[in-house]
Structure 1
Amino acid sequence: MTTDDRSLKEAWSSIPSQREVGIGLERFTGQRMERILSTVAAIGSAALGAQALLAAVTRLAPPDPGRIGMMALVFLPLLWMIVACVIGKGVKPAAGTFTVAYAIALALWPVVVEGGVRDPSNQPWIFFLVNIGVVAAMLAFTTRIQLIWALTLPILYGWVRLVQGGFEQSWWISTGFDVSFTIILGTVIISLAWMFRQIAAGVDEARSRAVEGYASAAAASAAEEERVAMSALMHDSVLAALIAAERADSDRARALAVAMAREALTRLANTEASIAQEGSDAPVARSQIVTELRRTLSEQGADAVVEERGAADAEVPGKVARAIVLAARQAIGNALAHADGHGLHVIVESAAADRLRVTVLDAGPGFDPDAIGEDRLGIRASIVARMAAVAGTSEIVSDADGTTVVLGWEPS
């Protein structure tokens, strides 16, 4: 492949698309808020987790396999959650795993850990992680499930403590205080997280509305500028070509009038494109046109295919190829806008190595081409005038069964 061929392919790949706009910032504030919440959760979990681990190790005498297994069941998922919150990846599965593992550890606590401690004021090490389980639920689940966990974990802890104390009266007061404290603290944690997330969502929504308003204003301004430029073009170039054609009284004058008309049509068809985008006369393979049409369908979310027929090695001049692609893109856009893409099908066929025809079909309700307003240039300028500017042909047939747009070109 020569340097010119590579340059031509790069130029074709840079044809502007209708949907090449910046996306991914619609949840910028929400993502930042989630990152802040996970970082704060990592700091709090590390502090309370270290406190609980120290209490568990100091009370591990003599070594008990059941207690060691209980520690592994709790602290390994906790360590995973802390690491995930720090790096900002896999936070939800890690937090969900710790929440479930902690609930299982609480349920197994009376069975695995013997009730040797008879002092109700002496809290076990697993108590320090009750609200960490609520924080993990806040990171992993929806608001409704978060509230359920904020009530379930403290109540489960209270039941475990009462079972361990044999439901004696001295255990009810201290256990009730612990349960009520953890419920209040867990509810406050979830409420604050919900409030921060709502604020972030509001900021993202306001930003989205502002961007949409700016885009609408910019589009309206661009449309008005294009309308003014089109009016000036019609007044100067097209009117001059019509006057020259009317006054032509010889073959040379008629040839000049035709050249002026063709130049006017070229400028009219490429009003929205810059001079650098008009293309050159370097040959363009049919495969590149097919690739561009498929990219157009993909970017516009159309469930359609581009069918190839005839000579696969066909080539047309660059300006012709660009005119066909832009006209076909307009036809595809019309089919999506007015027919919802029903029955959309694109056919690219070559009867010979230097001839090309592109057909865009849809099964929409159709329209009356003669009833289109004079100020609507989607078909006149973007399809008919564009193809006429490169000495091509365009045929539009529409009825109640659908619309067919046929774009053709062959050398003179």
Structure 2
Amino acid sequence: MPAADWRALRAAPRRRTAVSRAQVERVSARAVGAFGLVFGAQTVPLAIEQSKYLVDGAGAALMAVLYGSIAALAVATFAGAAVRAAALAFAGLYAMSLLAWPFLVVDTDAMSGAQPWLYYLCTVATTAAVVATPLIWATAYTIIVPAAYGVLRLTPAGGAVSPLLAVLDAMYAAILGVAVLVIITMLRQAAEAVDTAQEAALQRYDLAARQHATEIERVKVDALVHDSVLTTLLSAAAAETPEERALAARMASDAVRRLDEAGAEGPRANDRVSLAVLVRRLRGSLAAFTTPFVVRVVNTAGVELPVEAVDALASASMQAIVNSVQHADEPGRTTRRELRIRGVRAGGCVIEVADNGRGFDPLTVPESRLGLRMSIDERMTNAGGAARIDAAPGRGTTVTLSWPAGVEEATP
């Protein structure tokens, strides 16, 4: 993988799975566990009282089964393990308890007009079914179980109430169950829509990141070709004196080295190096030129920059230096050139390549000229920095490179 592509993908946010649906399921399950404990606790006194009307031991066994399954459901929901199994177990045990109730009651006279304590757990059971089963089965359970309770109410074991009251009790339980079913279903559907949109957005981001990495690599290659190859060829073609030919030979050697390094470049950590390393690198590069530069260095102590920023600053500075050497001189006039390097706080840098030569109008530079646009401006932008060119015909040129972007405006 190209280095720029690798760095761009590494800098991108890590891909994560969609969690909206999982959050809905977790909240729903914990609500069932919590309200199950609350509703169960409220029915304990009535369950103890009505256990006297059941077969000996049946009341205690029924309470142990239902309350035990509610406790297991609460533990499972808050632990996040075996939630569906615990909810399904409680829903099934509740339905079986409801069907077994008429066969367990022995004192039907005492139950006359009374409300079986199982009624108060009906909504907990229907909600558990919604959590544990698919929509079609949850809907069936939400309708059938309240209907079964309504039938139970008509029997002597269920209080032998009037059909109207039995229907009202069944409808009330069904309405509560359907309301919970609708709310959870809507939340699930909304969460699925969010998950789908999030997944699509992540895919689009991945595509954009790859395209951006490809564009960065293209700019890097274009800048490398211009800086190292094209500049070397132009210098060699224009060389007339032995000094100029020697300079062209050194530039050709440097171009070959940089091409080899670019071909072998791979992923590397985002290390930080001292600004002094950049200063030494630029001084060493200036030694290859016969044209003198005045070098001024300020506030480099303690300043560290990322390797990628150092590479961008060094390459863009060298392109500005080469441009000055090739284009700034005017016949019959001595051109003064300066390289100014200034550290900014602990992690910033501003570099100025200035001359008082012939200058130019940046607005008239054609798009086909890559030296300013790609080798300087885009290179600094891709590294998180900025470049500014101040030039005018007859008044010289100053190229200002700053990293990170905006650090120049933030300091005097």
TM-score by length of 2: 0.53
Shift of 1:163: 4.1
Q: Displacement of 1:180 after TM fit? A: 1.2
Number of equivalenced pairs: 257
- 1:319 is aligned to none
In 2, the alpha carbon distance for the partners of 1:78 and 1:101 equals 10
Corresponding residue SS for 2:52: coil
Please name the residue that 2:129 is paired with.
Answer: 137
What's 2:260 paired with? 266
SS of the equivalent of 1:114 reads coil
Give the counterpart letter for 1:87 in structure 2.
Answer: A
- Aligned to 2:51, the other structure's residue is in SS state coil
2:18 maps to 26
Counterpart check, 1:190 vs 2:184: no
Deviation at 1:102, TM superposition (A): 0.9
Q: Which amino acid aligns with 1:86?
A: F
Deviation at 1:259, TM superposition (A): 6.3
Structure 1 residues 245-304: Cα deviation after superposition (integer angstroms, max 9, x where no partner)? 999xxxxxxx99996675244233245644889xxxxxxxxxxxxxxxxxxxxxxxxxxx
Letter in 2 for 1:147: T
1:87–1:167 CA distance, 2 compared to 1 (3 A): closer
Q: Looking at both structures, which has the greater relative contact order when contacts are Cα pairs under 8 Å and sequence separation is at least 6?
A: 2
Tell me what 1:107 maps to.
99
Structure 2 residues without counterparts, runs of 5 or longer: 1-5, 240-248, 272-412
Query: In structure 1, what is the Cα distance between the partners aligned to 2:212 and 2:70?
Result: 56
Structure 2 Cα separation of the partners of residues 38 and 272 of structure 1: 48
Q: Distance in 2 between matches of 1:56 and 1:24?
A: 48
Provide the residue aligned with 1:68 in structure 2: 60
Q: What amino acid is the match of 1:109?
A: W
**Paired letter, 1:216:** L
Which residue identity is paired with 1:74?
Answer: L
Shift of the 160–265 alpha-carbon distance from structure 1 to 2, 3 Å rule, reads: same
Distance in 1, Cα, partners of 2:8 & 2:216: 20
Over 3 Å counting, the alpha-carbon distance change for 1:230 and 1:136 in structure 2 is same
* Counterpart residue type for residue 206 of structure 1: A
Which residue identity does 1:135 align to in structure 2?
T
Equivalent position of 2:204 in the other structure: 213
- Indicate yes or no: 2:193 matched with 1:199: no
TM-fit CA distance, 1:83: 2.2
Separation of aligned partners in 1, 2:94 and 2:14: 43
Shift of 1:56: 0.7
In 1, Cα distance between equivalents of 2:179 and 2:31: 15
Which shows bigger deviation, 115-124 or 179-188? 115-124
Contact kept? 1:37, 1:193, Cα under 8 Å:
yes
- List runs of 5+ in structure 1 lacking aligned partners: 1-14, 248-254, 278-412
AA of the residue aligned to 2:125? G
Residue 76 of structure 1 aligns with an amino acid whose one-letter code is G
Secondary structure in 2 matching 1:60: helix
Whole-Å separation in 2 of the counterparts to 1:129 and 1:42 = 12
Instruction: Name 2:117's counterpart in structure 1.
Output: 125
Q: 2 CA distance for matches of 1:122 and 1:167?
A: 5
Q: 1:162 aligns with which of 139, 145, 154?
A: 154
The Cα shift of 1:244 comes to 10
For the Cα contact (< 8 Å) 1:134–1:186, is it kept in 2?
A: yes
* Amino acid across the alignment from 1:232: A
Taking the aligned partners of 2:224 and 2:62, their CA distance within structure 1 comes to: 82
Equivalent residues of 1:242, 1:261 under 8 A apart: no
What's the CA shift string for 1:206-233, capped at 9, x where partnerless?
3333333333333322221211111121
1:57 equivalenced with 2:48 (yes/no): yes
Cross-structure match for 1:45: 36
Deviations 1:175-214 (A, max 9, x none): 2111111111111110011112222223333333333333
> Is the contact between residue 8 and residue 213 of structure 2 (CA under 8 Å) also seen in structure 1?
no
What SS does structure 2 have at the residue aligned with 1:81? helix
Normalised to the residue count of structure 1, the TM-score between the two structures is 0.53
Q: Greater CA deviation, 224-233 or 55-64? A: 55-64
8 Å CA contact retained: 1:67, 1:113: no
> 2:343 is matched with which residue?
none
Taking a change above 3 Å as real, the CA distance of residues 152 and 166 of structure 1, as seen in their structure-2 partners, is closer
Give the corresponding residue for 1:223. 214
Identity among equivalent positions (%) equals: 27
1:121–1:174 Cα contact (<8 Å) kept: no
Distance 1:157 1:35 in 2: 29
- CA distance 1:272–1:231, change in 2 (3 Å): farther
Structure 2: which amino acid aligns with 1:90?
Answer: A
Whether 1:235 and 2:226 are equivalent positions in the alignment is yes
Query: Would you say 1:80 and 2:72 are equivalent positions?
Result: yes
Please state how far the C-alpha of 1:79 moved relative to its aligned partner: 1.2
User: Residues 307-339 of structure 1, C-alpha deviation per residue, up to 9 Å, x if partnerless?
Assistant: xxxxxxxxxxxxxxxxxxxxxxxxxxxxxxxxx
**Partners of 1:205 and 1:71 in 2: how far apart?**
44
1:127 Cα deviation after fit: 1.2
Aligned residue number for residue 167 of structure 2: 176
CA distance in 2, matches of 1:276, 1:245: 37
Q: Distance in 2 between matches of 1:75 and 1:274?
A: 59
Give CA-to-partner distance per residue, 1:23-63, whole Å, 9 cap, x none. Answer: 44412x32332232223223321221112222111223388
Distance in 2 of aligned mates of 1:88 and 1:229: 50
Q: Does 1:93 align with 2:91?
A: no
1:64 aligned counterpart, secondary structure: coil
Q: d(CA) in 2 for partners of 1:199 and 1:139?
A: 16
Deviation at 1:110, TM superposition (A): 1.5
Q: Cα distance, 1:133 vs. partner?
A: 0.5
Q: Distance in 2 between matches of 1:50 and 1:243?
A: 90
